Structure formats: structure tokens, C-alpha cells
Amino acid sequence: MNREASRALFAEALGLMPGGVNSPVRAFRAVGGQPFFVRRAHGARLTDVDGNTFIDYVCTWGPNILGHAHPSILRAVSERLPDGLSFGACHPLEIEMAKTIRAFVPSMEKLRMCNSGTEAAMSCVRLARGFTGRDRIVKFEGCYHGHGDSLLVTAGSGALTFGRPDSAGVPVALAALTISLPFNDREAVRAAFRESGREIAAVILEPIPANAGLYLPEAGWLEFLRETASAHGALLIFDEVMSGFRVAPGGAQQISGVPPDLTALGKVIGGGLPVGAFGGRAEIMDHLAPLGPVYQAGTLSGNPIALAAGLANLRGLIAPPDGTPDPYAHMERLGAALETGLREAARRAKRPCCVQRAGSMFCAYFREGPVRNLADAKLSDTAAFGRWFAEMLARGINLAPSQFEAGFLCAAHTEADIEATLRAADKAFRAL
Ligand SMILES: *Cc1c(COP(=O)(O)O)cnc(C)c1O
């Protein structure tokens, strides 16, 4: 596989951008080697600047659920372009987007658009603090909520109630207000609420954590968090930036039947353009400016081009054109085949591997399962994963370049793609 053009661009990028990238995971540090530069992407295929083509399981980290450059999204965007790129004023697509989201995520009685998942999650936390008049928040290890200060916090050593910054530059005093607990661990949550229940503004989580590989909420876990938060006057925030409109149109809250007080969305609702949204009970949302005292704003929030792309993406999911299969059923079928096939390929090569999946999201952890939280995930053989990743890439399969990221299917993947992927996986496992 020729990689010359990518190598040359990366050498140049290193002098221009920290690590050569605009978002850290793209740098391939977790797997070794060098990133490729993309020339174009269509459907489930990505072509790099050297002309190599890959079956893509990153799908922009989630948004491109119909496939890259989907004709209906391109059409929606190009139809809007002549009318102006941005107004910084009200326009009708905002109404359409709000109605579309609320129809599928009814817990979002009122919502506000923003430009990224980071903003959505950060705004939920500020709003929860402003609404409850409390400062502490509870989050879970391995759940990613973007790079807002209060959320880049990891478990502090020993002391249950004090988180420590997960990034330089996050003030220790702020991190101390975040309590970071193991996912699926009820006793840890009970203890935190026993100790600081009256100070906790909110519990925030990915109801299906997909940012440390992929693990699942155990039976009763989401219900338990709902009850515990309510009993203590704290809000429950579901960060469905990844799971929203992906695991089901109504996200993990539709599947579990557990309604949060606030929800953060992003990724799929933008169809590949920068969009985020947050919303929830009207009584809480009305604490936002201009009605209430919690400030939140955005020059490009509700941008018409981004909303046109996002709405076209959502329509393709919830109202697929006649004659096309339901995208969720299609991805579930392919996901099941991929899950089973990867597990069997690993077993044939006698490689410990735990494949976990939620619909179109999956992760192959290089260890025996099950993986139920970050501590379990961290025991994976990341060196072996790195070699497997490189073997897969060399065979034309683009996976997320880290053991601690999920893979994504899109509606454009085909059975033939899965078969080709499993043939590559078989060889890649044997080559380790
Ligand atoms: C991607 C992601 C974010 C951050 O979204 P950005 O658009 O990258 O800022 C937040 N939460 C979850 C669950 C995500 O997957």
C-alpha cells in the first residue's frame, strides 16, 4: 500500500499543528504508525490521497450514519446555499429541527441548538447548576462528554468525593466539584449521595458508553440512577451525543424507557456538519437566557446549512425512501454478523477478544470479557490491538485508531463489506 502522499502531508502538518492534527485521536498515537489524509469519501468507502480505498468503520465518529456524501444530504445543503450561509437571526429550519427532535425524544420538551457535543454537554451542566443552585456533579469513568472543564475530570485517588483534573489547565478547585465514579457501580453512587447528596446538581452519563470502546448499562442501572437523582433533588443528564438517533431514533432513553431531565445531542443530528443540541423539561430549560439567569449563546447556533444537513440525515433515518430497508434493521443485521464473525475469527486465532455491541456501534476488546466499565476496558492488550489495527488497515479496513474507541456501521455498509471485513480480520488475527 503506497502511503507517500499521506507521509509527506503529515510531515508538513507536524510543523503546523500540534501533533499534526486538529483533534488528538487522529494522530494514531494509540496504535503507532502515521495517519492517512483523506481525499474523498462516499457511502461506506474512504479514499486517501495516495488512492488507497478503505471500508470505513469510523464514519466521522458517528455522524455519517447514512454513509458519506449521501445524495439527500448533499441535495439539502446545495438547495440552501444560494439563500445564504448564516444569518445570526431566526429562520424556519430551527422550528423544523426542534419539532423533529422532540417528536423522537419527547423528554426534550424544549431545546436549544449549539455547534458541538462539547457545548451541549457543557451547557447541560451549567444549566443543572443554575437550576438547582448546587455545584457538584457526578460523572462516570470512561464516559466522555467533550472537553468542558467540569467534565475533563477523573477519579481522585482514594477520596470518594474529589475528582482530579484529567487535563492540565483544568483548575483543581473546579475538578474537586466533580465526583467521578465507576460505571455500573451502584454502591459507589449510593456512597457519593450519602456523603454529598444535598450538593449534587446532576448525574451525567452516556447511557450507552461509547467513548472507551463500548460497554452497556446493566439491567436496572439507568432506573437506579433515575430514582437516586430524583430522591436527592439532582437532575439526570443523558449525554446522547453518540447514542442519539443511532441506537434508535429516540436514543438510549427510548430503548430503556428511562427519561432524563436533560439530554445532550450532537453528531448524527448534524449529518456531518457541526451541530449540537440540548434540551429537557421546559421548567428547567426556561432558566436559560433570555428567560432565565443561566447564560448560553452562539453566533452560529442553529446555522441553516448545518440544520439542512442534519434534517436530511434524520429524515433518511426516520422516513427512508420507499424501497430502501429500515436503516436501523439493516445496521442491526450487519452488526450482528460482524459481532459473531469477529468473535469467531479471534477464537480461531486463539486470541482473547471480547466483542461488545449496541446496534451499529461495536468494540473488540483484546481481553476476555465481559467489559462493564473503564477499569475492565483498561486491562485490554493495547499493543496487540495496535498491531491488529495496522493489519486491518493494510487490508483496507479503517477502524478507529484506539482500543478505547467504538466502531460504527452506517446504512451504506453491505453484506459484502462485512464479509470482506471478516476475511481481513481472520488474516489480521493470524498475523499477530
Ligand atoms: C463526541 C462526543 C462528545 C463531544 O462532541 P464534540 O462534537 O466532539 O464536541 C460529547 N459526548 C459524547 C457522548 C460524545 O460521543
Domain CATH code at residue 289: 3.40.640.10
Do 154 and 302 fall within a single domain?
yes
Residue 162 has pLDDT above 80, yes or no: no
106 in the Ramachandran plot: left (φ > 0), alpha (ψ -120 to 50) or beta?
A: alpha
Rounded to whole angstroms, the Cα distance separating 229 from 203 reads: 7
- Taking the centre of ligand 1 as the mean of its atom positions, its distance from the CA of residue 65, in whole angstroms, is 15
Rounded to whole angstroms, the Cα distance separating 363 from 375 reads: 15
Band of pLDDT at residue 86, cut at 50, 70 and 90: very high
Last residue of a domain, one of 288, 318, 348: 318
**pLDDT averaged over every residue in the chain:** 96
Do 61 and 190 fall within a single domain?
no
Report whether residue 115 contacts ligand 1, using a CB cutoff of 6 Å.
no
Picking from 25-29, 55-59, 71-75, which range would have the lowest pLDDT averaged per residue? 25-29
Mean pLDDT of 238-266: 98
Counting from 1 in the atom list of ligand 1, the atom nearest the Cα of 264 is 11
Cell digits for 14?
507536524
pTM for the predicted model, two decimal places: 0.98
Q: What CATH number is associated with residue 422?
A: 3.90.1150.10
Do 403 and 421 fall within a single domain?
yes
Per-residue confidence (pLDDT) for residue 333, from 0 to 100: 98
Last residue of a domain, one of 318, 340, 362: 318
Rounded to whole angstroms, the Cα distance separating 310 from 315 reads: 9
Residue 158 has pLDDT above 70, yes or no: no
**For this structure, is 144 an active site residue?**
yes
Per-residue confidence (pLDDT) for residue 291, from 0 to 100: 98
pLDDT digits (tens, 9 = 90+) for 334-390: 999 999 999 999 999 999 999 999 999 999 999 999 999 999 999 999 999 999 999
Do 192 and 295 fall within a single domain?
yes
The DSSP H or E segment spanning 163 is strand 163-165
Mean pLDDT of 278-299: 98
Report whether residue 239 contacts ligand 1, using a CB cutoff of 6 Å.
yes
Report whether residue 408 contacts ligand 1, using a CB cutoff of 6 Å.
no
Structural domain of 314 = 71-318
Per-residue confidence (pLDDT) for residue 173, from 0 to 100: 93
- Taking the centre of ligand 1 as the mean of its atom positions, its distance from the CA of residue 211, in whole angstroms, is 9
Counting residues of the chain whose pLDDT is more than 90, the rounded percentage is 96
Residue 245: C-alpha distances to residues 51, 209, 237, 269, 397 (Å): 33, 15, 17, 7, 25
